[in-house]
């Protein structure tokens, strides 16, 4: 009986995400969103409650999008530390290939969102906590294989790597220079391998 929806919800969400990614939450107007999604205000508010809810939906969509690629890096057949390194290489590859230099939507959001906004901050923090746990698991695997000093704390090193992601992301904003980014990761992984490296 009802008239079917004409537009593709996921497509609209993806386009909205792109705008938030490029401009941040506060700098994007509803007008920007209607232009990008080709949706009239009414349809946009009908499908996604309001601007804020749409933004949160965009955050979720972004994370579920990158999570697959993280998994594929961390679950290959390579040795654990090499898999972690592959992840960071992928990260750098993505960063230098982006002509807009948008950075990471999640990191951008962390710094744009005031501390009072616990809903969004918690949401994004939890996403990175999941990645951190993945990292720790791979580091533990490295320890059990003898590739990593068993006296180091895998959880603490996972935090270092997460901080490494943040560092890369911000550094790239200041100087979009691929070799320097790789060099930073080289030196960061030096902190993992330490004395036993090679």
How many chain residues bind its own copies (CB under 8 A)?
49
198 vs 180: CA distance, rounded Å: 22
How open is the CA angle 124-60-130, to the nearest 5 degrees?
Answer: 50
Distance CA 70, CA 79 (A): 16
- Given 15, 107, 118, 131, the residue binding its own copies (CB under 8 A): 107
**Nearest CB to its own copies, comparing residues 9 and 130:** 130
Nearer CB in complex with DNA: 51/182: 51
Nearest residue (CB) to its own copies, 44 versus 185: 185
Alpha carbons 56 and 60: distance in angstroms, whole number? 6
Structure tokens at 60: 């979720």
169 binds, among its own copies, DNA, none (CB under 5 to 8 A by kind): its own copies
Least distance between DNA and beta carbon 45 (Å): 4
Q: Pattern 6-45, binding to its own copies, x per CB under 8 A?
A: ----------------xxx-xx------------------
198/183 Cα distance (integer angstroms)? 17
């Amino acid at each position: 009986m009802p008239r079917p929806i004409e537009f593709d919800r996921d497509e609209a969400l993806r386009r909205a995400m792109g705008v938030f990614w490029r401009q941040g939450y506060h700098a994007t107007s509803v007008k920007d969103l209607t232009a990008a999604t080709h949706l009239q205000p009414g349809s946009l508010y009908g499908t996604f409650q309001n601007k804020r809810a749409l933004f949160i939906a965009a955050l979720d969509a972004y994370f579920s999008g990158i999570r697959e690629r993280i998994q594929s890096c961390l679950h290959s057949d390579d040795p654990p530390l090499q898999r972690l390194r592959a992840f960071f290489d992928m990260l750098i590859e993505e960063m230098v290939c982006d002509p807009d230099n948008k950075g990471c939507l999640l990191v951008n959001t962390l710094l744009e969102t005031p501390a009072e906004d616990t809903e969004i901050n918690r949401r994004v923090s939890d996403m990175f906590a999941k990645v951190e746990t993945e990292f720790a698991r791979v580091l533990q695997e490295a320890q059990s294989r003898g590739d990593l000093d068993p006296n180091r704390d895998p959880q603490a090193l996972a935090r270092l790597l997460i901080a490494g992601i943040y560092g890369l992301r911000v550094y790239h904003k200041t100087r979009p220079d691929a070799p320097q980014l790789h060099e930073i990761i080289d030196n960061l992984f030096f902190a993992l391998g330490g004395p036993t490296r090679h």
